[in-house]
Amino acid sequence: MTKNRVQSIDLLKGLVMVVMALDHVRDYFHYSSFFFDPTDPALTTLPIFFTRFVTNFCAPAFSFLAGVSAYLVGKRKNLYELSSFLLKRGLWLIFIEVVVMSFGWHFDIHFRNIVLQVIWSLGISMVLLAGLIHLPRNYLIFFSCLLIFGHNLLDSLHFDGNILWTLLHERRRYADIIPGHAIGSSYAIIPWVAVMTLGYCFGPFYNPDYSHLKRKRIFNLIGIAALVVLLVIRGTNISGDPYPWKNYGSNTQNLFSFLNFNKYPPSLSFLLATLGTSFLFLANSEKLKGKVVNFFCVFGRVPFFYYIIHIYLIHLLALILAGFSDFGWQKMILPAMPFRVEALKGFGFNLVTVYLIWIAIVVALYPLCRKFDKYKQTHKHQWWLSYL
C-alpha cells in the first residue's frame, strides 16, 4: 500500500494499458492487418502472432482489477453508496463507448458504425455489479466461477437476429439496424461480468491487515493451478474453447494453433491463460521498485484518461500519414474498424515501424498522463475525477 493505493495493481494496470496501445497501433498502421488475421496459424509469422497474442492479457487483467478496485473504493462507502457509484460510473462508461470512443475509432460524425468494446464491457459489468455486490461473497464467487467455467456450454446456442443474445454471448455486427447505421458487439456480457465480480471477491485480499506472504502464496497457487488446468484441457482438446487446436505439421504453426484461444467471447482457455498469468504477476510484483515501475504506474493510475486520448492520437496520426500518401486523409474517415476497410489495403508499414510508432505514442502521452495523475492526487475532493 502506498498513499491508499496498491502499487502492484497500478503497475499491472499500467503495463496492460501500454501493451494495449501496441495492438491499436497495429490495427491502424500495420500493412498486414488489412490482408490477414494476425492469429491465423496458416498465414501469420512469429513476430506478428505474438504482437497480437501479448495484448490478450489486457482486457481480462483490467476487468479483474476493476473489480478489485470497486471493492477498495467500497471500503470508504457503505454498500448502497457503492452501488450508486458503480451504477452511475457504469452508465457513464457505456455513454463514453457509444459516443466518445465510437467517434475516436472512426472519426465519422454520422456514427455509421458503433462497436461495443472494452469500455462498454466495463460499463455494463459495473451496472450489474452494482446489484450483485449485495449477494454474500460465497454466492458471488460461485456465480463468477459458474460463468467462467461453464459459459462455453452456450457456444452452440445461436439466435439469428436476436440482439439481446448477441450482447450476452456472441460477437456479431448488425448492419442497417437503423438505416445507414450498424452496431456490433465484440465484448459479450457473459463471461466478462464474471471476471469483474471475481475481482471484487478478491478485493479483501488487499485489506491492510491481510498478510503479504499469505496473499503471495495463495495468488501463486491460483496462478499455477490455472495454467496447469489450461495445459490439460487445451492439450487434450476436451473442452474450454470452441475452436480446438489442430496439427499443421509444423511446430511453429502448432504453437500458434495451441495458443490461439477464442477471445470473442473469451473462452475458458483464454481466461485461464490470461488471469492465471495475472495472478502470478500480482503475487510476485509487490516488492518491485524503481523508475521503470514508476513509469508504468503513472499510466495505471489514470487508465481511463489514457485510453481515450491514445485512441484519438493513434487515429489522428494515421489520418495525417494517410494524407501524405496516395490514399488521402479521407480514407481514415472509417465506415468500419480500419482492418475491415477494403479501401485501406496497401496502407501501412512493416512491424518494426509499428513498434517505433507505438513507443513514440507512449512516450508522448507520458508527460500528459503524469500531469493529470498529479492533479488527481492533489484534488481528491473533486467528485468528477472519480469518473476519469
- What string of pLDDT tens digits covers the 388 residues of the chain? 445 688 999 999 999 999 999 999 999 999 988 888 999 999 999 999 999 999 999 999 999 999 999 999 999 889 999 999 999 999 999 999 999 999 999 999 999 999 999 999 999 999 999 999 999 999 999 999 999 999 999 998 999 888 999 999 999 988 877 788 889 899 999 999 999 999 999 999 999 999 999 999 999 999 999 999 999 999 999 889 999 999 999 999 999 999 999 999 999 999 999 999 999 999 999 999 999 999 999 999 999 999 999 999 999 999 999 999 989 999 999 988 888 888 898 899 999 999 999 999 999 999 999 999 999 988 888 878 877 7
What does residue 263 show for φ and ψ, rounded to 5 degrees?
A: -105, -20
The CA distance from 355 to 360, in Å, is: 9
Q: Is 178 exposed, middle or buried (0-12, 13-18, 19+ CB in 10 A)?
A: exposed
- Closest CA relative to residue 59, chosen from 225, 206, 361, 270: 270
**Domain assignment present for 233:** yes
Tell me if the pTM is above 0.85: yes
Q: What angle do CA 262, 311, 191 make, to 5 degrees?
A: 30
Q: Would you state the cell numbers that stand for residue 343, as one nine-digit string?
A: 479501401
Euclidean distance between CA atoms 9 and 293, whole angstroms? 11
Would you say residue 1 lies in a domain? no
What residues pair up with 181 in beta bridges, in sequence order? 178
- Expressed as residue numbers, the domain containing 105 is 7-387
Q: Please answer whether residues 57 and 16 qualify as being in contact, where contact means their C-beta atoms are separated by less than 8 angstroms.
A: yes
Residue 196 lies in a domain: yes
The answer to whether residue 41 sits within a structural domain is yes
Domain count, the chain: 1
Q: Give the torsion through C-alpha atoms of 315, 48, 52, 101, to 10 deg.
A: 10
Q: Angle at CA 42, nearest 5°, toward 357 and 150?
A: 90
